[in-house]
Structure 1
């Protein structure tokens, strides 16, 4: 599996990444055995970038990921985690987490983008994972905390990066406008862009992607299925788009894109995974995976050849924006495999 470097840093990530929210029991319980064997399957397939966060399962994802990687050579893989949500004792537990994870709520999340909060969060993550270091650290969803995130958290991360404690730093969000500010106004090396450069939403072409290209910085793409609408060969009514029921017009558009994909001998989910790699600033697509079957499906989709003419036809039919760039260098077609 091809590797790409986070610009201006020593950190290299594989073109496909393992998103570890699912092994933190997102929406439903993932048995420990499934989590372990999912990571093993990803490793055997060549995946070497793993992304987690304290938020995912109130630390469960970090614990499971660390346990599964502990016997692997540390220099052979890259782990990213996040700061901004400290895990603190929950004085009023009700039994189950109320933020989408099927775990006990003995802990709760506390927003904190202060310098001390960042240092404490990283220390706690290292303790939960059992790792000696984190390769990449992102500010996690700082939408309502710009000032503290930009003026306290990012400088704290930059200091750790400059000391060689962390390899690369950045921010991850579901919006592109503030990620653009992080690239232009802070020391961020990379941003994790969720859902804003997909077959159904190319709004990142208006801000964060030009900024990344102008500044020589990097982008990791997540949420490329837009919460599920692009995850099947033939989308259907009732599927989700950005965590809500997909509007009929978007379902119809996804079906139209699926028809063009079929005419080119490929599928909608394979094209959805390949599409972000058409932009030269996007170095990785990370997908959520919770069991070996999901891992192998995602790896197989990632490896499929995507004819270059697909993007041309989607542009010609007005199904993606006309300013979507042609496939990028070695990523053309089969994406650097």
Structure 2
């Protein structure tokens, strides 16, 4: 079983426009040994769950781990993974008990399954008190009933994740944009998760696009926005160091998160079979150990 998890954000954001390619990517993931699939209602306003649900009909359910989310109903950008993502819109959230119950029911219907292996509270950073009062208690009730197997948080906020780990309400933490070659803010969080026995999934290893090629371009996306000049310069220097060691920047970027013992999976958004096969190959091919110290020096 691969340590790589399939992130459904890109296929969901594209929706029906890329349905055939998206389903081919999901099939390639299964064929390549990926057994963990991460989605959310906000990925393409439900499209990510519907596409994954179509693929799930062809796989033995006990062999697959499915993660979805509650709380965030809509992204600020319909498809933030495109080079030109289009206009921003008001995001939508609902962390109330009734909203969470409804969200789980709706996700199960779109996926066509009877239980969720993991449910993550999606970006509760600005409504953490409400999430603690209503969202997490409902999810733990659903866990006791067997509808949900594990409860966690999916966020870009290291402080929010640390608070939830300290309180002891999460089995799983998905941290996005916090544990990558260029961003290491989550180091303390990962140590705390390891001590608490909380599994960590490191999402967005390519910084939403910047580290996905060996020649980072000025128009690359970084955290779903245009890349700052200073960050671009860092990525290009890292690419140079990687080339000198005989590897590519994406190769190092995908393997870096796995170096921490708390990280159980790397969640990468993929939208084609070719991307799936490339990432599986990159994760399977070891990176020279000496490279990691050289890349760390670039950040100093």
Q: Same fold (TM over 0.5)?
A: yes
CA distance 1:307–1:98, change in 2 (3 Å):
closer
Q: Is 2:207 aligned against 1:220?
A: no
Cα deviation for residue 312 of structure 1 reads 2.5
Name the counterpart of 2:275. Answer: 294
Map 1:10-159 → 2, pairs under 5 A:
14-26=2-14, 30-86=17-73, 99-101=77-79, 110-159=92-141
CA distance 1:98–1:111, change in 2 (3 Å):
closer
Helix, strand or coil for the counterpart of 1:269?
Answer: helix
Q: What is the distance in 1 between the residues matched to 2:93 and 2:13? A: 21
Q: Which runs of 5+ in 1 are unaligned?
A: 2-13, 88-96, 103-107, 322-337
Q: What is the distance in 2 between the residues matched to 1:86 and 1:222? A: 19
CA distance 1:109–1:314, change in 2 (3 Å):
closer
Asked whether the equivalents of residues 229 and 241 of structure 1 are also in contact (C-alpha less than 8 Å), the reply is yes
Q: Which runs of 5+ in 2 are unaligned?
A: 81-89
Q: What is the distance in 2 between the residues matched to 1:158 and 1:320? A: 40
Name the counterpart of 2:292. Answer: 311
Q: What is the distance in 2 between the residues matched to 1:313 and 1:34? A: 38
Query: 1:246-270, CA deviations, whole angstroms, 9 ceiling, x for partnerless residues?
Result: 2222112112211221122111111
Helix, strand or coil for the counterpart of 2:211?
Answer: coil
Name the counterpart of 1:176. Answer: 158
Asked whether the equivalents of residues 13 and 79 of structure 2 are also in contact (C-alpha less than 8 Å), the reply is yes
Please give the TM-score of this superposition, normalised by the length of structure 1: 0.81
Helix, strand or coil for the counterpart of 1:203?
Answer: coil
Cα deviation for residue 320 of structure 1 reads 4.6
Name the counterpart of 2:243. Answer: 262
Query: 1:311-334, CA deviations, whole angstroms, 9 ceiling, x for partnerless residues?
Result: 12233xx2257xxxxxxxxxxxxx
Map 1:177-192 → 2, pairs under 5 A:
177-192=159-174
Query: 1:178-207, CA deviations, whole angstroms, 9 ceiling, x for partnerless residues?
Result: 1111111141011110011111011111x3
1:235 to 216, 223, 231: 216
Q: Is 2:190 aligned against 1:209?
A: yes
Name the counterpart of 2:149. Answer: 167
Asked whether the equivalents of residues 17 and 284 of structure 1 are also in contact (C-alpha less than 8 Å), the reply is yes
Query: 1:38-81, CA deviations, whole angstroms, 9 ceiling, x for partnerless residues?
Result: 11111000000001111011111111100111121110110000
Q: What is the distance in 1 between the residues matched to 2:281 and 2:46? A: 29
Helix, strand or coil for the counterpart of 2:121?
Answer: strand
Helix, strand or coil for the counterpart of 2:175?
Answer: strand
Q: What is the distance in 2 between the residues matched to 1:268 and 1:30? A: 30
Q: What is the distance in 1 between the residues matched to 2:79 and 2:200? A: 27
Q: What is the distance in 1 between the residues matched to 2:156 and 2:104? A: 22
Cα deviation for residue 15 of structure 1 reads 0.7
Cα deviation for residue 150 of structure 1 reads 1.4
Q: What is the distance in 2 between the residues matched to 1:86 and 1:238? A: 29
Cα deviation for residue 215 of structure 1 reads 1.1
Task: Name segments (4+ residues, structure 1) moved above 6 Å.
Answer: none
Please give the TM-score of this superposition, normalised by the length of structure 2: 0.91
